């Protein structure tokens, strides 16, 4: 004991933020990451001349992520693109530029539907709430957690709790009479996503979704550089097999090579299920709690087709006119699972993510990259005909992923006719790929399921899974702090650094 060192396990945004704060505060810190680079679900990759963001394609700040990046000196090093959304179906085609344009387009598409105005008046109430309390660069409660700042927020709490349930979303959407449309409003997004997120996302899609110019990997690399410049150590291609403990305290980590790295404190930002089942000595987590976490439902994983296409970015940009173009072939909410049929992805929504105009370096001159995505699941078709989530990939797996990649292209041809004839590179990332690159169970994209009935992180506001039974082992990442996603992950990194430094978790951003 007493080497004054902190180990951070995992260099997703949570681990990077935690290590960057710790290094900046003069703490001896070693970040251990199994991959060759940082980012986890937010990493990017090159295939030959093509660059792709692998998972998350852009993210919201909500007054949390940008202030953290500003505080760490990374925000100003990046040029930020405010992303534009477009929603298309056989009935509508609109941009999410303002509530007025969205409502007008939906009323135009469904002239006999009386409930759209009423539904959106509720959505606007949530938007007004968000705008009252935060903008992309500030969430006063986080920057100054004082009674003065807390008081105006308190009267809003009962409403907030109501909005935090999925049942309230179903109730709010019942004003829509068209059953297909009601189903769509009630179900788009992650499985049983509460009203707060459904309603809040319209506002966030309109004004607070961002992409770092140069790609997600550039942002992740910038965070890694901050750690090293401040004296922190990063060990890439280094997988932690176990977190060791003695006398009720964490003592360090054993790597997959057998090497032991000693530490005074540990921040673990990988998969939470792995933490409770195998990463620690049995009995560290109370058995019931461990069992609950092991079987807790996770957010959906996605399948992606990464395309290098012989289309000039200006031409593709003019056709899409958006960074995220969604095609909804129907108003069903399908979540492929172990029992779904072979054609499950053929009738799903698809999104085309395109940043070629702002990022000429993503493709050779006159060409573009495009990422098509939809929900999927690791267990679909017997783990994609691979038999299990890891292990050597079977030829049947390779064949199936190519087939599904082509199916996504066919879906995208509804709004980009002739796309298939322009493809020069096609790579497919499945939930098995997500699992391999992030080690997240089932290739989960955002942490625990958002369903308020089953999320282990959702009990009460500010309840979290960051503290573990070992007083010097802290969890960070999208599982550790409700609800999940980039905001939770980044914030949990800062909170974990505060806990390691012996400060109150909510200690404000800034020195
Ligand atoms: C397709 C997609 C779209 C998304 N869209 C959005 C969005 O629009 N908005 C939003 O808020 N969120 C979105 N998300 C979710 C968001 O990207 C994640 O919630 C967030 O990036 C999680 O960060 P993290 O640091 O907690 O974990 P991760 O990104 O999963 O990083 C964990 C890291 O730990 C490493 N690791 C794990 N175990 C070990 C070990 N034993 N030893 C060494 N290293 C280890 C992994 O290799 C990985 O690098 C999306 C995700 C995906 C996949």
**pLDDT, tens digit (0-9, with 9 covering 90-100), for 474-509:** 999 999 998 999 999 999 999 999 999 999 888 877
In this structure, are strands 85-88 and 324-327 parallel, antiparallel, or unpaired? parallel
For 144-162, the pLDDT digits (tens) are 667 777 787 788 889 988 9
pLDDT confidence of residue 461:
52
Instruction: Specify the 3-state DSSP secondary structure of 459.
Output: coil
For 229-255, the pLDDT digits (tens) are 999 999 999 999 999 999 999 999 999
Report which ligand 1 atom has the smallest distance to the Cα of 241: 41
487 lines ligand 1 (CB under 6 A): yes
Instruction: Specify the 3-state DSSP secondary structure of 121.
Output: helix
493 lines ligand 1 (CB under 6 A): no
pLDDT confidence of residue 145:
66
136 lines ligand 1 (CB under 6 A): no
| Residue of the CA atom closest to atom 47 of ligand 1 | 438
pLDDT confidence of residue 471:
97
Tell me the mean pLDDT in the region 349-362. 98
The residue among 92 and 504 whose pLDDT is bigger is 92
DSSP of 148-205: HHHGGGGGGHHHHHHHT-HHHHHHHHTT--SHHHHHHHHH-SSTT--HHHHHHHHHHH
Q: State the angle between helix axes of 116-133 and 166-173 in degrees (0 to 180), rounded to the nearest 10.
A: 140
Instruction: Tell me: pLDDT of 460 over 60.
Output: no
pLDDT confidence of residue 143:
67
β-sheet bridge partners, residue 6: 29, 265
Question: What is the 156 CA–ligand 1 centroid distance (Å)?
Answer: 31
Question: What is the 15 CA–ligand 1 centroid distance (Å)?
Answer: 10
The residue among 158 and 323 whose pLDDT is bigger is 323
Question: What is the 273 CA–ligand 1 centroid distance (Å)?
Answer: 14
For 171-196, the pLDDT digits (tens) are 999 999 999 999 999 999 999 999 99
> How far apart, in whole angstroms, are the C-alpha atoms of residue 134 and residue 127?
10
Question: What is the 39 CA–ligand 1 centroid distance (Å)?
Answer: 7
| Residue of the CA atom closest to atom 6 of ligand 1 | 56
56 lines ligand 1 (CB under 6 A): yes
Three-state SS for 175-191 is: CCCCHHHHHHHHHCCCC
| Residue of the CA atom closest to atom 37 of ligand 1 | 270
Q: State the angle between helix axes of 216-229 and 13-24 in degrees (0 to 180), rounded to the nearest 10.
A: 30
Instruction: Tell me: pLDDT of 511 over 80.
Output: no
pLDDT confidence of residue 306:
98
- Tell me the average pLDDT of the chain: 95
pLDDT confidence of residue 463:
67
Considering the chain, what percentage of its residues have pLDDT values greater than 90?
Answer: 87
Identify the band that residue 455 occupies on the pLDDT scale cut at 50, 70 and 90. confident
Q: HSE, CB side, 13 Å, CA atoms: give it for residue 401.
A: 25
Tell me the mean pLDDT in the region 28-46. 98
14 lines ligand 1 (CB under 6 A): yes
Q: Which of 11, 35, 56, 240 to mutate to test the pocket of ligand 1 (most atoms within 8 A of CB)?
A: 56
| Residue of the CA atom closest to atom 25 of ligand 1 | 12
492 lines ligand 1 (CB under 6 A): no
For 47-75, the pLDDT digits (tens) are 999 999 999 999 999 999 999 999 999 99
Beta carbons of 31 and 227 less than 8 angstroms apart:
yes
- Measure Cα distances from 302 to 6, 114, 254, 435, 505 in Å: 33, 34, 31, 11, 33
Across 276-290, 408-422, 440-454, the highest mean pLDDT is recorded for 408-422
Question: What is the 414 CA–ligand 1 centroid distance (Å)?
Answer: 31
Question: What is the 354 CA–ligand 1 centroid distance (Å)?
Answer: 21
Question: What is the 434 CA–ligand 1 centroid distance (Å)?
Answer: 9
Identify the band that residue 459 occupies on the pLDDT scale cut at 50, 70 and 90. low
| Residue of the CA atom closest to atom 9 of ligand 1 | 59
Considering the chain, what percentage of its residues have pLDDT values greater than 70?
Answer: 97
Q: Is the peptide bond between 176 and the residue preceding it cis, with omega within 30 degrees of 0? A: no
The class that CATH gives domain 5-57+214-296+455-500 is: alpha beta
Report which ligand 1 atom has the smallest distance to the Cα of 238: 43
Identify the band that residue 218 occupies on the pLDDT scale cut at 50, 70 and 90. very high
pLDDT confidence of residue 453:
84
10 lines ligand 1 (CB under 6 A): yes
307 lines ligand 1 (CB under 6 A): no
User: What residue spans define the domains of the chain?
Assistant: 5-57+214-296+455-500, 80-211, 300-443
Instruction: Tell me: pLDDT of 462 over 70.
Output: no
> How far apart, in whole angstroms, are the C-alpha atoms of residue 220 and residue 37?
8
Based on the number of CB atoms within 10 Å of its own CB, is 504 exposed (0-12), middle (13-18) or buried (19 or more)? exposed
pLDDT confidence of residue 152:
78
Q: Which of 69, 486, 494 to mutate to test the pocket of ligand 1 (most atoms within 8 A of CB)?
A: 486
489 lines ligand 1 (CB under 6 A): yes
> How far apart, in whole angstroms, are the C-alpha atoms of residue 150 and residue 144?
9
| Residue of the CA atom closest to atom 49 of ligand 1 | 40
Instruction: Specify the 3-state DSSP secondary structure of 74.
Output: coil
Question: What is the 432 CA–ligand 1 centroid distance (Å)?
Answer: 14
Question: b or e along 240-252 (b: 16 or more beta carbons within 10 Å of the residue's beta carbon)?
Answer: beebbbeeeebbb
Report which ligand 1 atom has the smallest distance to the Cα of 447: 19
270 lines ligand 1 (CB under 6 A): yes
Q: HSE, CB side, 13 Å, CA atoms: give it for residue 188.
A: 21
CA angle 320/325/330 to nearest 5° reads 125
Segment among 152-161, 215-224, 257-266 with least mean pLDDT: 152-161
Identify the band that residue 417 occupies on the pLDDT scale cut at 50, 70 and 90. very high
Instruction: Tell me: pLDDT of 458 over 80.
Output: no
Tell me the mean pLDDT in the region 29-51. 98
444 lines ligand 1 (CB under 6 A): no
Tell me the mean pLDDT in the region 112-117. 96
240 lines ligand 1 (CB under 6 A): yes
Identify the band that residue 391 occupies on the pLDDT scale cut at 50, 70 and 90. confident
pLDDT confidence of residue 150:
76
For residue 343, count other CB atoms closer than 10 A to its CB.
Answer: 10
């Amino acid at each position: 004991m007493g080497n004054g060192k902190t180990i951070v396990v995992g260099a997703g945004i949570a681990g990077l933020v935690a290590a960057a704060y710790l290094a900046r505060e003069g703490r001896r810190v070693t970040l251990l990451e199994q991959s060759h680079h940082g980012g986890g679900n937010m990493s990017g990759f090159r295939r030959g001349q093509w660059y792709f963001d692998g998972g998350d394609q852009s993210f919201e700040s909500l007054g949390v992520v940008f202030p953290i990046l500003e505080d760490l000196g990374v925000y100003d090093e990046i040029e930020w693109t405010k992303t534009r959304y477009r929603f298309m179906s056989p009935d509508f085609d609109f941009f999410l530029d303002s509530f007025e344009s969205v409502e007008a387009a939906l009323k135009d598409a469904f002239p006999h539907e009386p409930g759209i105005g009423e539904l959106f008046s509720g959505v606007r109430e949530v938007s007004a709430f968000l705008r009252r309390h935060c903008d992309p660069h500030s969430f006063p409660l986080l920057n100054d957690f004082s009674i003065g700042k807390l008081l105006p927020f308190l009267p809003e709490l009962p409403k907030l709790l109501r909005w935090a349930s999925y049942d309230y979303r179903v109730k709010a959407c019942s004003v829509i009479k068209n059953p297909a449309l009601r189903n769509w409003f009630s179900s788009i997004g992650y499985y049983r996503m509460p009203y707060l997120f459904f309603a809040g996302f319209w506002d966030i899609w309109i004004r607070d979704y961002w992409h770092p110019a140069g790609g997600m990997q550039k942002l992740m690399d910038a965070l890694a550089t901050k750690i090293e410049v401040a004296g922190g150590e990063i060990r890439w291609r280094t997988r932690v097999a176990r977190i060791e403990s003695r006398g009720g305290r964490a003592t360090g980590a054993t790597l997959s090579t057998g090497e032991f790295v000693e530490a005074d404190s540990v921040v673990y930002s990988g998969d939470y299920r792995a933490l409770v089942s195998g990463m620690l000595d049995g009995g560290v987590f109370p058995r019931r709690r461990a069992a609950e976490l092991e079987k807790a439902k996770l957010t959906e994983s996605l399948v992606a087709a990464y395309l290098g296409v012989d289309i000039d970015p200006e031409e593709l940009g003019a056709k899409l006119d958006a960074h995220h173009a969604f095609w909804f072939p129907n108003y069903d909410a399908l979540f492929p699972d172990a029992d779904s049929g072979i054609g499950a992805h053929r009738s799903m929504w698809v999104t085309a993510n395109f940043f070629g105009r702002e990022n000429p370096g993503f493709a050779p001159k006159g060409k573009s990259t495009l990422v098509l995505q939809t929900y999927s699941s690791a267990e679909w078709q017997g783990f994609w005909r691979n038999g299990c989530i890891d292990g050597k990939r079977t030829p049947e797996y390779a064949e199936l992923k190519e087939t599904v990649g082509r199916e996504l292209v066919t879906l995208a041809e509804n709004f980009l006719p002739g796309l298939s004839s322009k493809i020069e590179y096609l790579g497919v990332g499945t939930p098995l790929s997500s699992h391999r690159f992030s080690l997240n169970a089932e290739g989960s994209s955002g942490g625990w399921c958002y369903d308020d009935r089953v999320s282990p992180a959702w009990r009460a506001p500010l309840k979290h899974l960051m503290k573990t039974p070992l007083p010097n082992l802290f969890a960070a990442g999208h599982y550790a702090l409700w609800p999940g996603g980039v905001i939770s992950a980044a914030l949990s990194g800062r909170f974990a650094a505060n806990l390691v430094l012996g400060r109150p978790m909510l200690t404000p951003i800034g020195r």
